Amino acid sequence: MTNLTDKELDLVIIKHLKEAKKKDFQTIAEELHPYDLASIYKRMSEKHKPRFLVFLTLEQTALLVQELEQKQQIDVLTKLGVEKTAQVMDLMDNDDLANLLGELTEEKKQAFLERMKNEESQAVQSLMQYPPETAGRIMTNRYVWIPRHYTVRDVAEKLREYAEIAETINYLFVIDDAKKLIGVVSYRDLILTTPNEKIENIMYERVISVTVDTDQEEVARIIERYDFLAVPVVESDNRLVGIVTVDDIIDVVIKEATEDIQKLSASGKSIDFDTKASVAAFRRLPWLVLLLLIGILSGTIISQFEETLEKVVALAFFMPMIAGMTGNTGTQSLAVVVRGLITRDVDARTVRRLFFRELLVGIILGVVCGILISIIAYIWQGNPVLGLVVGSSLVMTLIIGTLAGTIIPIVLYKLKVDPAVASGPLITTLNDILSLLIYFGIATMFISYLI
Amino acid sequence: MTNLTDKELDLVIIKHLKEAKKKDFQTIAEELHPYDLASIYKRMSEKHKPRFLVFLTLEQTALLVQELEQKQQIDVLTKLGVEKTAQVMDLMDNDDLANLLGELTEEKKQAFLERMKNEESQAVQSLMQYPPETAGRIMTNRYVWIPRHYTVRDVAEKLREYAEIAETINYLFVIDDAKKLIGVVSYRDLILTTPNEKIENIMYERVISVTVDTDQEEVARIIERYDFLAVPVVESDNRLVGIVTVDDIIDVVIKEATEDIQKLSASGKSIDFDTKASVAAFRRLPWLVLLLLIGILSGTIISQFEETLEKVVALAFFMPMIAGMTGNTGTQSLAVVVRGLITRDVDARTVRRLFFRELLVGIILGVVCGILISIIAYIWQGNPVLGLVVGSSLVMTLIIGTLAGTIIPIVLYKLKVDPAVASGPLITTLNDILSLLIYFGIATMFISYLI
């Protein structure tokens, strides 16, 4: 069975289900990863699903549920019934469970919590108190902690007991009597010492930790910097309350990057391939309507220059190009700044350097493109003044557009607003307006030479 | 020292350096993570750096070098001299070392390789044969493999020997006599069995692996899906040659997301806060020049409709709005599609569903915005036909713009071209042209009613 394709795997599983051969089914299921189990379940037709769920062990069901999208999770729980769901929930990772429960109605949530083991239900409820996207919310309580007076032998024994339920055994966190985090031992260190050695003597005391209210992006940054597999989470008094593991952090990194892209493109939050058309349209609409209204604003600006435009209709030919170029250079700067802000801390010196860098970039881009378009406009329209007007406008708009794409996200960042909300379209539209004002302003100044 | 701030830490370190107290220095250095060591080194003034490097052990120096940017790496190696550099290189992770060597001149590279241990130098050279951004290039050879006939006790002994140099001991990969990968045992499983158990009996046989030429994004997807801490890398004949670890994958995920954003915004590759202005401008320029030329194209389209425009100058007022809206909706779709393609496989059914979803989205957006602008244009310009022309144009351009932002990246994806090269600005500019054609086309058709 090691080399079965997905299709063959599906067929064998369904065969065992049809023939009600639970043992054969389990022989295969045992070898499968939760992701594979979930994939098979998703591909399966509705009629096979109930027995599939019956044939799974509680542990496998918990792992399966953790891999599903929320809608499918609810579907599985409904199929399982309240009693079995509570048992499955006892086995789920607390962070996954907190996410799931957070989406249910208060009534349903209480029904499940009441039937769960007291210990587990309290753990997940305490998790749910922390705001979303913080370390407290994404941490798990399935980690191994050891009292400071343990020897390596004691630890090895405790490990044997906890290895199965702990999410990671790579790091063992050492606590004092008040449950305060005082050290960490890697699993590797244990292997390399003698059984009678005291943990206190081999532990690292400089433990990097995060607090429950640390933003998940900051947690990701720490795990990424230090190449950690997990980072301990403490309350403000340094009491150890959980760990965040690297697999959750990968999800955070992907989610945050996707959000950045969605914001930069103003595509609205949480649209993926499965979002319904009406929902997707509804989420995208506010941005488009806003941009439409700003577009009207740029229309009124042009209408102010109607006289100029009537005299030299050729000015209209370069309008989209100038507005577009200004928008594009702004978007380029924006992308550099938004991603840069993610991967490093920004002090005043960095901002100053960045500002002058982008000013210089804007000047270089402006001069090169300005000269190019002057020549093209002159050749095309046979009017040197028009060439100069278009060219000098482009120089100015490119410099201003570049700086707008740099300054706006940094100001937002300093104001603790997510810089990515200064989305590409917003910057683009703002730059549209600035560029039209500059372009028609310069054209109006030189109108007598243009005709 | 556990609670020292960065500044205090710097001061203590420099004090020990000045007083040449190597032992005190090491007491601190031992507790520091490589990232911290590197941060201190970067903050330190030039005059202290040589002694800092002398005080570090070879292992610490290797870890430090791995945390530095390439320019700084070369600087450290120069300070160390060729002999010591070769020793440090012996201790570096092969993937990091391959990256570093890949940037040196052939001559320098050979000088280092000759002085390195034969075994290490061969390992890194074989790594460098694989193309960049593949599993082969980012894998490490510091993993633990075990022959199939080993018992748990044998493994425990082998582990004690290798724990220090292995990058991960979470997974132990089981191989047959031909070094072919036949199974995997997690460290956890070892703890939970008896010493005399044979590895063959407890190993998982369905091992998920990647081949040396698997793209690093695909490797990231597998690690993310399965929540792995590492994934084994095999040659095409299933011979085990390395592993890719999760910490490298986080870097891949961040890098790929940044690249996606840079491509989507056409900001050019590899621009960050430290890039020089001339370099950044040079990288951004090709895109802007290309877009400028396309902008000229849209100018020539408008010039074709000069007559229409001369008759109804008010048409110019709505030009930027229509072009902008079409570009924006295209960018929105593009962002959804590009990110969607990262997180899942796309079959014909998904594409069909997505197409019709976006078609519907386009229709909804078009109708809502079209009606809105018709009313605004009518009220503003007092011309119902103008309102209808602008409105119906917007309906059509929004539908087409939405579909363009969907279809183009998917077609590129199917052609095995990175869909993100269909950058926002490209889609925007393409949509500019389409929208101008539609807008002026419709206006020209109704010109007699417009005047």
Tens of pLDDT, residues B387-398: 999 999 999 999
Residue A268 lies in a domain: no
**Residue A2 in this model has a pLDDT that exceeds 60:** no
Does residue A17 form part of some domain? yes
Residue A219 predicted with pLDDT over 80: yes
**Among A214, A220, A235, which residue's Cα sits nearest to residue A126?**
A235
Neighbours of B282 (CB within 10 A): 16
Residues sharing a CB contact under 8 Å with residue A219, sequence separation 6 or more, in sequence order:
A135, A138, A210, A231, A244, A249, A252
* pLDDT averaged over every residue in chain B: 86
Rounded to the nearest angstrom, the minimum Cα separation between B102 and chain A is 23
Q: Which tokens in the block code for residue A98?
A: 């907190």
- Sort strands B171-175 and B181-186 into parallel, antiparallel or unpaired: antiparallel
Determine the average pLDDT of the residues in B206-222: 91
To the nearest whole Å, the CA of B114 is away from the closest chain A CA by: 30
User: Is the residue at B284 inside a domain?
Assistant: yes
Whether residues B336 and A267 touch (CB distance < 8 A) is answered with: yes
Q: Are A184 and A169 in contact (CB under 8 A)?
A: no
> What is the Cα–Cα distance from A372 to B140, expressed in whole angstroms?
50
Q: Per the CB < 8 Å rule, is B327 touching A280? A: no
Q: Domain range holding A227?
A: 145-258
Instruction: Name the residue among B92, B274, B439 with its Cα closest to residue A320.
Output: B439
Is the Cβ pair B208, A170 closer than 8 Å? no
The CATH number that applies at residue B214 is 3.10.580.10
Q: Report CB contact under 8 Å: A364, B163.
A: no
CATH number, domain containing residue A126? 1.25.60.10
Do residues B366 and B398 make contact, with C-beta atoms less than 8 angstroms apart?
A: yes
**Rg of chain B taking only CA atoms, in angstroms:** 30
CA distance B126 to A348: 45
**b/e B366-386 (16+ beta carbons within 10 angstroms → b):** bbbbbebbbebbbebbebebb
- The whole-angstrom distance between B19's CA and the closest CA on chain A is 24
- Helix B22-29 and helix B6-18: axis angle, to 10°? 150
Contact A229 B224 (CB under 8 A): no
Return the pLDDT at A99: 84
Any domain includes A264: no
If DSSP codes are grouped into helix, strand and coil, which group holds residue B240? Answer: strand
pLDDT band (50, 70, 90) for residue B241? very high
What pLDDT is stored for residue A86 in this prediction?
Answer: 87
Q: What is the pLDDT of residues A238-296, one digit of tens each?
A: 999 999 999 889 988 888 888 877 777 766 666 777 778 888 888 888 888 888 888 88
Question: Is residue A271 in a domain?
Answer: no
Q: Which residues of B touch A277 (CB under 8 A)?
A: 356-358, 360-361, 364
Extended beta strands in A226-269, E state: 230-234, 240-245
Beta bridge partners of B184: B173, B204
Q: Which burial class, exposed, middle or buried, applies to A8 when counting CB atoms under 10 A from its CB (0-12, 13-18, 19+)?
A: exposed
Q: What does each C-alpha distance from A84 to A47, A56, A115, A433, B117 come to in angstroms?
A: 20, 12, 9, 61, 59
Same-domain status, B341 and B407: yes
User: What gap in Å lies between CA A95 and CA B120, rounded to an integer?
Assistant: 42
The mean-pLDDT minimum among A126-130, B37-41, B167-171, B297-301 falls in B167-171
Answer yes or no: do B294 and B442 share one domain. Answer: yes
Q: Do A261 and B261 touch (CB under 8 A)?
A: yes
pLDDT of residue A270: 67
| Amino acid (one-letter) located at A394 | L
Check: CB of residue A198 under 8 Å from CB of residue A189: no
DSSP 3-state assignment of A242?
strand
- Token pair listed for B30: 């031992």
Distance CA B230, CA B243 (A): 6
Calpha distance B41→B53 (Å, rounded): 9
pLDDT given at position B209: 93
The closest alpha carbon to B327, from B251, B395, B429, belongs to B429
Looking at A164-168, A363-367, A440-444, B152-156, which range is the least confident one?
A164-168
A268-277: list long-range contacts, CB under 8 Å, 24+ apart: A268/B332, A271/B336, A272/B336, A272/B339, A272/B340, A272/B343, A273/B336, A273/B340, A273/B344, A273/B350, A273/B353, A273/B354, A274/A69, A275/B357, A276/B357, A277/B356, A277/B357, A277/B358, A277/B360, A277/B361, A277/B364
Q: Are residues B26 and B108 in the same domain?
A: yes
pLDDT average, residue stretch B31-50: 89
Q: What is the mean pLDDT of residues B227-235?
A: 92
Cα separation, B92 vs B97, in Å, equals 6
Contact A316 B316 (CB under 8 A): yes
In angstroms, the CA A440 to CA A438 distance is: 6
Pair A106, A152 in one domain:
no
Local confidence band at A422 (pLDDT 50, 70, 90 cut-offs): low
Q: A203: nearest CA in chain B?
A: B31
Q: Is the model's pLDDT at B424 over the cut of 70?
A: no
Residues B124 and B153 in one domain: no
Domain end residue (candidates: A258, A289, A317): A258
Instruction: Measure CA of the first residue to CA of the last residue in chain A; give whole Å.
Output: 81
Q: Are B31 and A205 in contact (CB under 8 A)?
A: yes
Share of chain B above pLDDT 90, in %: 31
- Distance from C-alpha of B414 to C-alpha of B168, rounded to nearest angstrom: 36
CATH of the domain at A305: 1.10.357.20
In a domain, B324, yes or no: yes
Instruction: Supply the pLDDT for residue B359.
Output: 93
Report pLDDT for A312. 85
Which of B162, B339, B349 best probes binding to A when mutated, by most A CB atoms within 10 angstroms?
B339
How many of the other CB atoms lie within 10 Å of CB of A149?
Answer: 12
Tell me which of B91, B106, B130 is where a domain ends. B130
Contacts with B129 (C-beta within 8 Å, 6 or more apart), sequence order: B136
SS3 A198: strand
Lookup: tokens for B395: 């309906």
Percent of chain B with pLDDT over 70: 96
What is the reported pLDDT for B271?
Answer: 72
| A93/A180 same-domain check | no
Predicted confidence at residue B412, as pLDDT, reads 83
The more confident residue out of A59 and A336 is: A59
Looking at the structure, do residues B315 and B443 belong to the same domain, yes or no?
yes
A302 with B310: Cβ contact below 8 A: no
- The model's confidence at residue B267, banded by pLDDT at 50, 70 and 90, is low
Which residue among A258, A292, A315 closes a domain? A258
Residue ranges with strand state E in A163-206: 171-175, 181-186
pLDDT of residue B294: 83
How far apart (Å, rounded) are the C-alpha atoms in residues B255 and B220? 11
Q: Give the residue-averaged pLDDT of A45-61.
A: 92
Six-digit token pair at A320?
């989209």
Q: How confident is the model at residue B134 (pLDDT cuts 50, 70, 90)?
A: very high
Nearest alpha carbon to residue A295 among A165, A148, A401, A426: A426
Judged against a pLDDT cut of 90, whether residue B168 lies above it is answered with no
Same domain? B397 vs B354: yes
The pLDDT-based confidence of B220 (bands split at 50, 70, 90) is: very high
A383-394 residue pLDDT tens: 889 999 999 999
Give yes or no: residues B159 and B112 share one domain: no
The pLDDT tens digits of the residues spanning A319-330 come to: 888 988 888 888
Note whether A136 and A127 are within 8 A (CB).
Answer: yes
Contact A354, B273 (CB under 8 A): yes
Q: Does B328 lie in the same domain as B230?
A: no
The alpha-carbon gap from B51 to the nearest alpha carbon of chain A, in Å, equals 24
Residue A329: what are its φ and ψ, rounded to 5°? -65, -35
Identify the pLDDT of residue A204. 87
CB contacts of A378 in chain B (<8 Å) are: none
Given a cut of 90, is residue B399 above it in pLDDT?
yes
Residue A266 domain-assigned?
Answer: no
Number of structural domains chain A divides into: 3
Q: What is the pLDDT of residue B420?
A: 65
Q: How does residue A134 score in pLDDT terms, banded at 50, 70 and 90? A: very high
- Least trusted range by pLDDT, from A260-274, A369-383, B53-67, B436-450: A260-274
Summarised one tens digit per residue, pLDDT across range A60-73 is 999 999 988 888 89
Q: What is the pLDDT of residue A363?
A: 94
Distance in angstroms (rounded) separating the CA atoms of residues A226 and B41: 16
* Residue B138, domain member (yes or no): no
Confidence of residue B270 (pLDDT cuts 50, 70, 90): low
Instruction: Give residue A234's pLDDT.
Output: 95
Clarify whether residues A303 and A198 are in a common domain.
no
Share of chain A above pLDDT 70, in %: 96
The two tokens of residue B289 are 């020049």
* pLDDT average, residue stretch B159-182: 84
Verify that B117 and B179 share a domain, yes or no.
no
Mean pLDDT over B290-302 rounds to 86
Residue B51 structure tokens: 């002694």
Amino acid at residue number B170: N
Using CA atoms, how far apart are residues A423 and A426, in angstroms rounded to an integer? Answer: 5
Q: For B260, which residue in chain A has the nearest alpha carbon?
A: A261
Highest mean predicted confidence (pLDDT) among A49-53, A104-108, B187-191: A49-53
The ipTM value here is 0.78
